[in-house]
Amino acid sequence: MALTPEQQTRLAAALREGESPLWQGCGGAAAAAPKPGLFVRLFGKPSFVGELSLYAITAKRVLVLPPQGEVQEWFLMLGLIQEVNERPDGSGDIVFDYVEENGRRTPRGLIGIPQVQVVKNLLASAIDAAYNASPWSV
């Protein structure tokens, strides 16, 4: 799925100078809309229904831009990929770590992406390239 111009602009703003994506996409579960309470009616808080997280893999890091909240990043390193979950349609998750939220263990990483095996292979190649380019890889 190609990113919209608005998504491309948002992603470009998260990149560092000289950094470009090796892969970019979107996915994840759509965020829930706020309940139409008094605050929403008074202040017109925007709804996030249907918005997905934006993802990018660069030569040095992986970025996740959720529809709301702060950018998450992981630097490319050996052992980054903890788990790959593939669904029958070829989509899936590349899990880097887990966070505890409301008593639940929630995966973090590239969640709900199409062609998960293709992206996993690209990410593994990028990790290998970053590791082999490192002055510490002897």
pLDDT of 33: 36
Question: Do the domain assignments include residue 52?
Answer: yes
pLDDT digits (tens, 9 = 90+) for 76-98: 999 999 999 999 999 999 999 99
Lowest mean per-residue pLDDT among 3-12, 39-48, 110-119: 39-48
Helix (H, G, I), strand (E, B) or coil at 119: helix
Q: What is the pLDDT of residues 31-64, one digit of tens each?
A: 333 344 444 444 444 444 457 899 999 999 999 9
Does the pTM surpass 0.95? The reply is no
In a domain, 85, yes or no: yes
Per-residue model confidence (pLDDT) at position 116: 97
Q: What average pLDDT does the structure give for the chain? A: 84
- Please state the domain count of the chain: 1
The mean-pLDDT minimum among 20-24, 66-70, 77-81, 111-115 falls in 66-70
Domain-embedded: residue 46? yes
Residue 57: give its domain's CATH number.
2.30.29
Q: Is position 125 within any domain? A: yes
User: What does the pLDDT read at residue 32?
Assistant: 36
Asked if residue 27 is part of any domain, the answer here is yes
Write out the residue range of the structural domain in which residue 113 sits. Answer: 5-133
Give the distance from CA 102 to its chain's centroid: 21
Residue 138 maps to a domain: no
The pLDDT assigned to 29 comes to 57
> Residue 28: its pLDDT value, please?
80
Which residues lie closer than 8 Å to 21 by C-beta, 6 or more apart?
Answer: 11, 15, 56, 57, 58
Q: Is 27 buried (19+), middle (13-18) or exposed (0-12) by CB count in 10 A?
A: buried
Please name every residue paired with 84 in a beta bridge, in sequence order, or none if there are none: 94
